[in-house]
Amino acid sequence: MSGAQRLNWVSRPATALRGDVVVPGDKSVSHRSMMLSGIAEGTSYIRGFLEGEDTRATAAVLAQLGVAIEAPSAGERIVHGVGLHGLRASNQPLDCGNAGTGMRLLAGLLAGQAFDSTLIGDESLSKRPMRRVTDPLAKMGAQIDTQDGLPPLQVRGGRKLHGIRYELPVASAQVKSALLLAGLYAESSTEVIEPHPTRDYTERMLQAFGWPIEFSPGYAKLEGGHRLRATDIVVPADFSSSAFFLVAASILPGSTLRLPAVGLNPRRTGLLEALRLMGADISIENQSKSGGEAVGDLIVRHAPLHGIELPEALVPDMIDEFPALFVAAAVAKGRTVIRGAAELRVKESDRIATMAAGLRALGVRIEETPDGAIIDGGIINGGTVDSHGDHRIAMSFAVAGLVARDAITIGDCANVATSFPGFLELANSCGFSLG
């Protein structure tokens, strides 16, 4: 997880992608399923849990805090919840690995406990901004010490929390969720208002666990003093993991892929709209609801793409999909302009800088701007790029290799296992040439 092992991949040009691609469970839903079932009363069954390093780190933290968790088979968890006040102190730091979601949500959850905790992370997570959660949590009465705004986080227990009304300065589901989790332990109501609606999994899942909550796009309100009752959770396939295959099949002539039962929460599917605006051929079949979430099979066929001015309103709904979009834009005919996406600079890497450096090394014309990029599509050459230990950058350049003139060597790919265990095998099974 710390990137101690430097794993490089080579992605070679391929002919066409074909077949069914079953991607692993949703990362956001998996993190939340573990946290809420851990503090619920009773036993919850989770199916489709993401066996990634990020979500396993969250499960390990809950176990360290005294929650008994069984893993009868891959993707299955039986969580024996300890109730809202049943967590116990750990005398060891709680290691969130590479996961910003894990650390930020746990900061909210732990702020309301009777005991102190220390949250740590790997090299990348240790550079990610935490004041966005610690500042509003402090307004609720929490005390969390940072290292100049960065991890480790020392969360002081035994604080009396009170609800606040908080208008998020930046659209962030992680910050919203941290406040709602702290709000479970607070006196009076906690109200969160977002500048643009973000994924609402925490709200939906709290409701599924029986906690009264009021929410609508961009707004959530709950009050402390209720109970969470164990429930069963089915985690849908992760749209963000599907994104690499949507772009891959779109750009490689002759390709057709089917991605079954993918989570289609509208706050996640901005890339679908962006790719369609670029001319992509993606359809949805077998739409249904699973565990309250929209799911469907995605069918993607190759289609010639053209550049677009990306509507800024789509940015929060595709915040994790930009590395893949950059690759689509590099292949598309004409210019793609991305604005309003400064948040990309504080993800697992500075995703504007890492994608720009990588694409430039492959001969693509790309201009970095403070909050986006201007990409002139054309030919991608072979060459060597560095993922900077960022899972989504590594997978995006694996996709670029499909259509490059020559092989692309991608440095530092071990962290792909944080969100997408088995990516390499799955990619090769549908026609990639990745090793």
The answer to whether 319 contacts ligand S3P (rule: CB under 6 A) is yes
- 4, with CB counted inside 10 A (0-12, 13-18, 19+), is exposed
The answer to whether 101 contacts ligand S3P (rule: CB under 6 A) is yes
> Which residues are within 8 A (CB) of 182 and not within 5 positions of it... i.e. 6 or more apart?
108, 109, 111, 112, 137, 140, 142, 161, 190
Q: Using CB under 6 A, which of 37, 124, 146, 174 touches ligand S3P? A: 174
CB 175 within 8 A of CB 104: yes
C-beta of 363: minimal distance to ligand S3P in Å? 29
Q: Using CB under 6 A, which of 1, 23, 28, 351 touches ligand S3P? A: 28
Q: Taking CB under 6 A as the criterion, which residues in 55-74 touch ligand S3P?
A: none
Residue number with CB closer to ligand S3P (223 or 320): 320
C-beta of 95: minimal distance to ligand S3P in Å? 18
Separation CA 104–CA 108 (nearest Å):
7
Report DSSP state, residue 6: -
The answer to whether 173 contacts ligand S3P (rule: CB under 6 A) is yes
The answer to whether 242 contacts ligand S3P (rule: CB under 6 A) is no
Catalytic residue among 122, 320, 386, 412: 320
Question: What value, to the nearest 5°, has the Cα angle with vertex 324 and ends 233 and 288?
Answer: 35
Q: Taking CB under 6 A as the criterion, which residues in 322-381 touch ligand S3P?
A: 343
Q: Say if residue 320 carries a ligand binding annotation.
A: yes
Q: Tell me the one-letter amino acid at 334.
A: G
Separation CA 156–CA 91 (nearest Å):
13
Residue number with CB closer to ligand S3P (343 or 376): 343
Annotated catalytic residue 122: no
Instruction: Look up residue 371 and give its two tokens.
Output: 């909050």
CB 121 within 8 A of CB 93: no
* 129: helix, strand or coil: coil
C-beta of 235: minimal distance to ligand S3P in Å? 12
C-beta of 174: minimal distance to ligand S3P in Å? 3
Q: Using CB under 6 A, which of 33, 172, 269, 396 touches ligand S3P? A: 172
Separation CA 54–CA 57 (nearest Å):
5
C-beta of 194: minimal distance to ligand S3P in Å? 10
In 292-394, DSSP assigns E strands to: 293-301, 335-338, 365-369, 372-376, 383-386
Q: Say if residue 6 carries a ligand binding annotation.
A: no
Residue number with CB closer to ligand S3P (108 or 296): 108
SS3 content of the chain, % helix, strand, coil (to 5): 35, 30, 40
Residue number with CB closer to ligand S3P (380 or 417): 417
Separation CA 280–CA 305 (nearest Å):
6
C-beta of 213: minimal distance to ligand S3P in Å? 16
Q: Say if residue 358 carries a ligand binding annotation.
A: no
The answer to whether 271 contacts ligand S3P (rule: CB under 6 A) is no
Q: Is the N-terminal amide bond of 169 cis, ω within 30° of 0?
A: no
C-beta of 58: minimal distance to ligand S3P in Å? 11
The answer to whether 98 contacts ligand S3P (rule: CB under 6 A) is no
Q: Say if residue 172 carries a ligand binding annotation.
A: yes
Total chain residues near ligand S3P (CB under 6 A): 10
Q: Say if residue 365 carries a ligand binding annotation.
A: no
Separation CA 231–CA 139 (nearest Å):
32
Partner residues linked to 154 by β-bridges: 118, 145
Residue number with CB closer to ligand S3P (192 or 427): 192
Residue number with CB closer to ligand S3P (116 or 371): 371
Please report which helix (H) or strand (E) contains residue 239, including its range.
Answer: helix 239-251
The answer to whether 320 contacts ligand S3P (rule: CB under 6 A) is yes
- 70, with CB counted inside 10 A (0-12, 13-18, 19+), is exposed
Residue number with CB closer to ligand S3P (159 or 176): 176
Tell me which residue of 132, 124, 229 sits closest to 173, measured CA to CA: 132
- 112, with CB counted inside 10 A (0-12, 13-18, 19+), is buried
Task: Cite the annotated binding site for 3-phosphoshikimate by residue number.
Answer: 27-28, 32, 172, 174, 320, 347
Active site amino acids: 320
Residues annotated as binding site? 27-28, 32, 100, 128, 172, 174, 320, 347, 351, 392
The residue ranges that bind ligand S3P (CB under 6 A) are: 28, 101, 172-174, 177, 199, 319-320, 343
